[in-house]
Amino acid sequence: MRYAQPLLEIDVIIAGAVVLAGIALLLLWRQRRLHNTRVRLESKLDEERGRRELAEQALGDTRLQVSRLSASQQSLRDAERRRIARDLHDDMGQHLLAISFDIADLAQRHENLAEPLAQVEARLQAATRALRTIVRDLQPEQLESGLQGAVQQQVEQFSRLSGIPCRLEAEPAAFSIPADDLMDAVVFRILQESLSNIARHAQASEVCIGLFRVADSLSLTVRDNGVGLPDPPARRGCGLRGIAQRVAEAGGRFDISSQPGHGTALTMSFPLQ
């Protein structure tokens, strides 16, 4: 009986060791199971990341193709505008000039028709000025001096014709970008349309234009202190739709910020190639 107590203690120790070994095996099994689960999840995550990268690359390629297609279409439209402008200037302009000479000749030979012919001549001169405006809009001569000169000239012309003070805030980096005829034409046309909308609808007393380079994009902001857009906003007019379309075709972004009675800000950004 004196050996019974030590044997009992040994049995307890052995039983405890067996239990601890079982717990250790269970923990190892659970750890291995968690490890395998983590490996599977990481593998799925890597696959998902790969699919997302491929989708983002495909989306970027699609956007690039759309931008190139839009640029090609814009180039064709600009070429067509130049052709129409040239034909109007050379053909219609010559006809108007010939009619002016005929009127002058009739006025010299028929003095009794001098007054009505003078009225016809005045209308002819008005038509000639309108033709020159159309030709200038189809093929803006301002861009011949570069984007900086075109923007400055447009700002000065807007202030002079509308009587609305217009301030230009532009950093030198915005004009140090390598010349891009397509981008320059888009920015200039959008600026023209924006100022035209302000003159027609905004009832503003001040306009501020900002032109900045932000990373790999060109940012244009046209802000006025006019009546703002209605709340709730009405459907975009032709002017805003045209601006939005031009910006989209250039692969850019277009945002409108406006409150009734507190003016409107149009912000556009264009990617630089």
Return the minimum-mean-pLDDT range out of 82-96, 152-166, 213-227: 82-96
Model-level pTM?
A: 0.56
DSSP conformation class of 231: S
Residues in the chain: 273
Q: Cβ neighbours of residue 90 under 8 Å, at least 6 residues apart? A: none
pLDDT at 167 (0 to 100): 94
DSSP conformation class of 178: P
Residue 209 CB: number of other CB atoms within 10 A? 21
Give the torsion sign (CA, 135, 147, 267, 229): negative
Q: Which residues of 66-92 are buried (b: 16+ CB within 10 A; e: fewer)?
A: ebeebbeebeeebeebeeebeebbeee
Closest CA to 143 of 200, 99, 85: 85
pLDDT at 203 (0 to 100): 92
Give the mean pLDDT of 125-153. 78
For residue range 232-260, what is the model confidence (pLDDT) as tens digits? 555 555 578 888 988 888 888 999 999 88
Residue, of 143 and 223, whose pLDDT is higher: 223
How far apart (Å, rounded) are the C-alpha atoms in residues 104 and 10? 135
For residue range 174-206, what is the model confidence (pLDDT) as tens digits? 887 776 777 888 888 899 889 988 988 899 999
Alpha helices, DSSP H, located in the chain: 4-87, 93-109, 114-138, 146-162, 181-197, 238-249
pLDDT at 233 (0 to 100): 52
Residue with tokens 């997302």: 52
Q: What are phi and psi of 211, to 5 degrees?
A: -135, 115
pLDDT at 79 (0 to 100): 75
Please report how the helices 181-197 and 4-87 are oriented relative to each other, as an axis angle in degrees rounded to 10: 80
Closest CA to 81 of 28, 122, 30, 134: 134
